[in-house]
Amino acid sequence: MTATAEAILEQAADWRAAGKGVALATVIGTWGSSPRPAGSQLAVDDSGAMIGSVSGGCIEGAVVLEAIEAIKDGKPRLLEFGVTDEQAWEVGLACGGKVQVYVEAVE
Amino acid sequence: MKRAILDRLVADRAADRPVALATDLESGLQSLIYEGDTHGDFVLDSDILATARQALRDDRSAIVEAAGRRIFLQVHNPALRLILVGAVHIAQALAPMARLAGYAVTVIDPRRSFATEARFPDMALLTDWPDEAMERLALDGRTAVVTLTHDPKLDDPALQAALRSPAFYIGALGSRKTHAARLERLRAAGVGDTDLARIHGGPVGLPLGGRSPAEIALSVLAQITTVLHRAGSTQGHAA
């Protein structure tokens, strides 16, 4: 792939090659008006630096925290976000969609 | 994800090799699926392989369920390509905009005073004749072409080369009058009406009302985007 703005996996590989802990978060399913389609990715390093996105900025904060946990324990996680009740505003999708995100550490 | 899988995926992307990553959402096991073979420690049955290859052709990542397992197929296709003929002012705006939108951009112009590194920093530049360059680039169904030189000696052969390819978008800069004259020349050169209708022109781009090079570039990129998604799948034509 020639240089484009979406070099997320490339950045993840570079971080890992530099000895950093790295996790990948991937949108695997969406319902309703979720902002990013399945396949969209966010890479996170162990300091919390991130590249890419899994929403319009609504859930990245929570996903980064889970990603850092995944880097620590090596276990993949399946997260689900959506406006299911009033409380969901804190880490939910303001647009009313629902999204499933798979988070995995790079070994 | 195993580091070996990530490194291989990055190498595949660098080589423009279409690949689908299959992840078992329960076990986390992963394999890479190519058009011809597979790689990884997750053994896949022929149904999943067929679904994954269809997902590659449709350019669509999705969850599939098979034998009680949920598997996510993530599609990695080579970047969409944009070929700009004419290293002109509008190209200087359109090339970086298109790159932001995810296109691998190539600018072709045999006029070396136009096609300079200073005018197009960090951009793929070719100074061959457009039709020769385009034959070599092997345009596929994930490629867009826009001619911008206003010079029939450069634009016309480029358009003819584009029309011989399955490029999903072909645009030609020029006023209604210029475009009408261009269509006449191409018709006289033996190009049929069905092919001529593939050319967006007279004027090119969506009618945003702007006149500056950046505004015209925006209207062209907007039209390319509309055509890309109206077509639904950009595959089908892909080699």
Name every residue whose Cβ is closer than 8 Å to that of residue A8 and which is 6 or more positions away in sequence. A41, A42, A43, A51, A52
Backbone phi and psi for residue B32, each to the nearest 5 degrees, phi listed first = -100, 135
- Adjacent-strand bridge partners of B199: B170
* B14 shares contact with chain A (CB less than 8 Å): yes
User: pLDDT averaged over consecutive 10-residue blocks of chain B (239 residues)?
Assistant: 95 93 94 92 87 90 89 94 97 97 96 96 96 94 96 97 96 96 97 97 96 97 93 39
| Helix runs in B26-103, H state only | 46-58, 89-100
- Give Cα separations from A18 to A13, B21, B65, B149 (angstroms): 9, 24, 37, 45
pLDDT of residue B233: 42
- Give Cα separations from B130 to A2, A81, B169, B184, B203 (angstroms): 20, 49, 17, 20, 21
pLDDT of residue A1: 36
Return mean pLDDT, chain A: 86
Q: Side chain identity at B135, as an amino acid letter?
A: E
Q: State whether A5 and B102 contact (CB < 8 Å).
A: yes
Name every residue whose Cβ is closer than 8 Å to that of residue B94 and which is 6 or more positions away in sequence. B82, B84, B146, B148, B217, B220, B221
* Whole-angstrom distance, CA of residue B186 vs CA of residue B51: 42
pLDDT of residue A45: 97
* Whole-angstrom distance, CA of residue B91 vs CA of residue B121: 12
For B80-230, the fitting CATH number among 3.40.50.10470, 2.60.40.10, 3.30.980.10, 3.40.50.720 is: 3.40.50.720
Q: Which residue has the tokens 């792939």?
A: A1
* % of residues, chain A, pLDDT over 90: 64
Q: Is the predicted pLDDT of residue A100 greater than 80, yes or no?
A: yes
Domain ranges (residues) in chain B: 3-76, 80-230
Contact (Cβ atoms closer than 8 angstroms) between residue A44 and residue A50: yes
H helix count then E strand count, chain A: 2, 5
Strand boundaries in chain B, DSSP class E: 19-24, 30-33, 38-40, 62-66, 69-76, 80-85, 103-108, 124-126, 143-147, 169-172, 199-201
* B186 shares contact with chain A (CB less than 8 Å): no
Residues 57 through 96 of chain B touching chain A, CB cutoff 8 Å: 60-63, 72, 74-75, 78-79
pLDDT of residue A92: 62
* B25 shares contact with chain A (CB less than 8 Å): yes
Q: Which residues of A touch B25 (CB under 8 A)?
A: 28, 78, 102
For residue B124, the chain A residue with the least C-alpha distance is A2
Higher pLDDT, B160 or A58: B160
Contact (Cβ atoms closer than 8 angstroms) between residue B95 and residue B120: yes
Contact (Cβ atoms closer than 8 angstroms) between residue A40 and residue A97: no
Interface A-B: count of C-beta contacts within 8 A: 69
Q: Which residues of A touch B1 (CB under 8 A)?
A: 24, 104-107
User: What is the gyration radius of the CA atoms in chain A, in angstroms?
Assistant: 14
Q: State whether A28 and B72 contact (CB < 8 Å).
A: yes
pLDDT of residue A58: 81
